Amino acid sequence: MASNKKVLIWLYVVFIYILAFTIWWARLLFTKNQESYVEKIELLAMQNEVSKEEFLKNENSKDITKKFKRQELMIYTEGSAFIVLIVIGFVLVRRSIVKELTLAERQKNFILSITHEFKSPLASVKLVQQTLQKHELNEAQKNQLIDNSLYDLERLTGLVDNMLLAAKFEGDLSGFSLQEIDLSKTVESILKRYQVIKKKNVEIVTRILADLVCMADPAGIMSLVVNLVDNAIKYSDESSSVYVELSQTQNQILLMICDTGYGIPTLEKKRIFDKFYRIGSEETRKSKGTGLGLYIVKNIVALHKGVIEVKDNQPKGTKFIVYLPSIQNLTLN
Ligand code: ADP
């Protein structure tokens, strides 16, 4: 990271040096060309025993002036072309260094958040186990503790799944396979789990059209739904509601997840799908996350040759719409 910053500083120094050097050389050539022209005209005027002004009216001087102008133009154009090439090179190199710097920064944040995300549920599960071991608890208390542990373990599983999926998208896609699945049943069974382990007391309202079949990777589709619904809950206030709809248009299956949460500013809507990207807002900082969820969602949608849109929900919140082709003979690349 620090060495990357040094490289960036060096790039600026080298760029400014080359630019200044080029301008200085161009100016020098320009002056030399002018001086040599004036000297030549003066010498020839002297040899012809006429004044400089009179010699310039002479036909012989026209060739010399033409050659001088041509050389002047050459210095201008070649100098400008060189400067343009340097600027383009500088912009390209700078862009790739800045990109790496940003990724390194996000990776650093990811390591920090992942450490925290692993540690806190593990500590909480350990505490529950110790409590169950050391204390005499009634049935209701036991069930409450077990529910909490299940929630934490679910979070850990989701975290590991996301990391494995993100790694898969970096390599080859042979781990994925499309098969005919009943999407309606898959989505329903995922949403049922949210009813059991209620998060933030958020109510999930559903409208699922039955018997929607498509070619999909089961684990991929599950991760897509879980990541979108998890986010809808995570970035909403306590006791709000999330709306999930599964429907069909002529040749597409449409999955819509709407929340009435904090919303996503227009400028951020494109960036949220980048790997490790998290919006720098107070609401995002307050909630746990790794910035991998939507990166995975984007890749799963692409794998199924689908499209994902993110819009503002009315009157507030966010709406994610996934369009999946309902064509039966979809194959992986
Ligand atoms: P994270 O692990 O941070 O949730 P994601 O890749 O799932 O990572 O999301 C990237 C960022 O997009 C989040 O950090 C959050 O700022 C924003 N975001 C995602 N979904 C929502 C939503 N439903 N409402 C508001 N912000 C969202």
Pairing type for strands 252-259 and 318-325 reads antiparallel
Place of tokens 């201008």: 76
Report the nearest atom of ligand 1 relative to the CA of 292. Answer: 6
Report the nearest atom of ligand 1 relative to the CA of 283. Answer: 16
Q: 300 CA to middle of ligand 1, Å?
A: 16
The tokens for 24 are 């200085």
* Nearest CA-CA partner of 33 in 60, 78, 70: 70
Place of tokens 């080029």: 22
d(CA 63, CA 69): 10
Report the nearest atom of ligand 1 relative to the CA of 277. Answer: 10
pLDDT tens-digit readout, 99-151: 888 888 888 888 888 888 889 889 999 999 999 999 888 999 999 899 889 88
d(CA 160, CA 5): 32
Q: Is 228 in the pocket of ligand 1 (CB under 6 A)?
A: no
Among 229, 294, 313, which is best to mutate for testing ligand 1, by the most ligand atoms less than 8 A from CB? 294
Q: Check if the beta carbon of residue 318 is closer than 8 Å to that of residue 206.
A: no
**According to the model, what pLDDT value does residue 1 have?**
55
Those residues whose C-beta lies under 8 Å from the C-beta of residue 294, and which sit 6 or more positions away, are: 227, 231, 272, 273, 277
* pTM of this structure: 0.74
Q: What share of the chain is helix, strand, coil (3-state, %, to 5)?
A: 65, 15, 20
d(CA 318, CA 169): 26
Among 200, 281, 284, which is best to mutate for testing ligand 1, by the most ligand atoms less than 8 A from CB? 284
Among 255, 272, 299, which is best to mutate for testing ligand 1, by the most ligand atoms less than 8 A from CB? 272
312: left (phi over 0), alpha (psi -120 to 50) or beta: beta
Q: Is 306 in the pocket of ligand 1 (CB under 6 A)?
A: no
**According to the model, what pLDDT value does residue 328 have?**
46
- pLDDT tens for the chain, 333 residues: list them: 566 678 888 999 999 999 999 999 999 999 999 999 999 999 988 888 888 888 888 787 888 899 999 999 999 999 999 999 999 999 999 999 888 888 888 888 888 888 888 898 899 999 999 999 998 889 999 998 998 898 889 889 988 988 888 888 888 788 888 999 999 999 999 999 887 666 788 999 999 999 999 999 999 999 999 999 999 999 999 989 999 999 998 889 999 999 999 999 999 999 999 998 999 888 887 888 889 999 999 999 999 999 999 999 999 999 999 999 986 444 444
pLDDT tens-digit readout, 5-14: 788 889 999 9
255: left (phi over 0), alpha (psi -120 to 50) or beta: beta
